[in-house]
């Protein structure tokens, strides 16, 4: 006899959790800064801001840049990101795993710092994109780690925080869950390393999507 599920709603981050895009995002940030003759951030700093809203990310990376010029840097970032976007691949077992979790009866959702246009473009290219009941993007409300994004998803899916699990690859994802009163599961194969993730509250830190599926089978 199978144990009853502890969670009804699984909310996934996108970049670095389902899709292997963290390296491409960081390189696009570096190239955008170089285009505008701004100090080029390290790969570690560029990866750190993945998942944050644009203003928070740019304030962290280029504090000397006037806010009136944020759109210039954002436009250069989009140019470089879109140039290599189609080459970005999903992580192993994500497609099969998302289908399996859907068939197991979980409600699936996405909470991402991507723009709505960017997420819709990505979802339309992937077969498992139709499996998500709700999605919330960084340009639709307060960005991570503010609880707004997760609160919205819980509201539209009619799910309590106690029955919600956030799965993500950054400390911003884990803090988002904590701020919304939900539980979180970390993955170490994306933007932030295990050491950074272990400083935040989570139920565990998985090294692959396969481990995520195994953990959910035993604990979810």
β pairing state of 134-137 and 205-206: unpaired
Ordered strands of the 205-206 beta sheet: 134-137, 107-112, 9-12, 164-168, 183-187, 205-206
pLDDT tens digits for range 145-192: 999 999 999 999 999 999 999 999 999 999 999 999 999 999 999 888
Q: What is the pLDDT of residue 79?
A: 94
Q: What is the pLDDT of residue 53?
A: 82
Q: Is the dihedral of CA 124, 84, 24, 206 positive or negative?
A: positive
Tell me which of 2.40.170, 1.10.3470, 1.10.10, 1.10.150 is the CATH number of domain 22-87: 1.10.150
Mean pLDDT of 79-100: 92
C-alpha of 189 from chain center: 12
Q: Which residues pair with 132 in a beta bridge?
A: none
> For the chain, what are the domain ranges?
9-20+89-219, 22-87
Measured in residues, the chain has a length of 220
Mean pLDDT of 2-26: 90
Average predicted confidence (pLDDT) for the chain: 93
pTM of the model: 0.91
Q: Confirm if 169 and 188 have CB atoms less than 8 A apart.
A: yes
Residue 11: phi, psi to the nearest 5?
Answer: -110, 120
CATH number, span 9-20+89-219:
3.40.50.1000
For residue 192, what is the enclosing H or E element?
none
Residue 2: phi, psi to the nearest 5?
Answer: -80, 145
Task: Please list, residue by residue across 5-43, b when 16 or more beta carbons sit within 10 angstroms of its beta carbon and e when fewer do.
Answer: eebbbbbbbbbbbbbbbbebbbebbbbbbeeeebebbee
């Amino acid at each position: 006899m199978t144990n009853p599920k502890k969670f009804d709603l699984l909310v996934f981050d996108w970049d670095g959790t389902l899709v292997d895009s963290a390296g491409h995002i960081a390189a696009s940030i570096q190239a955008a800064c170089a285009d505008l003759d701004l100090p080029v951030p390290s790969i570690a700093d560029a990866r750190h801001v993945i998942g944050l809203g644009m203003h928070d990310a740019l304030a962290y990376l280029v504090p000397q840049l006037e806010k009136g010029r944020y759109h210039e840097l954002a436009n250069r970032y989009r140019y470089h990101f879109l140039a290599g976007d189609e080459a970005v691949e999903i992580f192993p077992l994500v497609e099969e795993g998302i289908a399996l979790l859907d068939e197991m009866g979980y409600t699936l959702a996405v909470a991402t710092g991507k723009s709505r246009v960017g997420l819709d473009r990505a979802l339309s290219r992937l077969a498992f994109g139709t499996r998500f009941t709700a999605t919330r993007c960084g340009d639709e409300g307060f960005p991570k780690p503010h609880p707004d994004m997760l609160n919205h998803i819980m509201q539209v899916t009619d799910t309590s925080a106690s029955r919600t699990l956030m799965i993500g690859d950054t400390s911003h994802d884990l803090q988002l869950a904590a701020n919304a009163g939900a539980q979180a599961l970390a993955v170490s194969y994306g933007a932030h390393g295990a050491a950074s993730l272990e400083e935040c509250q989570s139920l565990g830190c998985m090294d692959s999507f396969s481990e995520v599926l195994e953990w959910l089978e035993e604990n979810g």
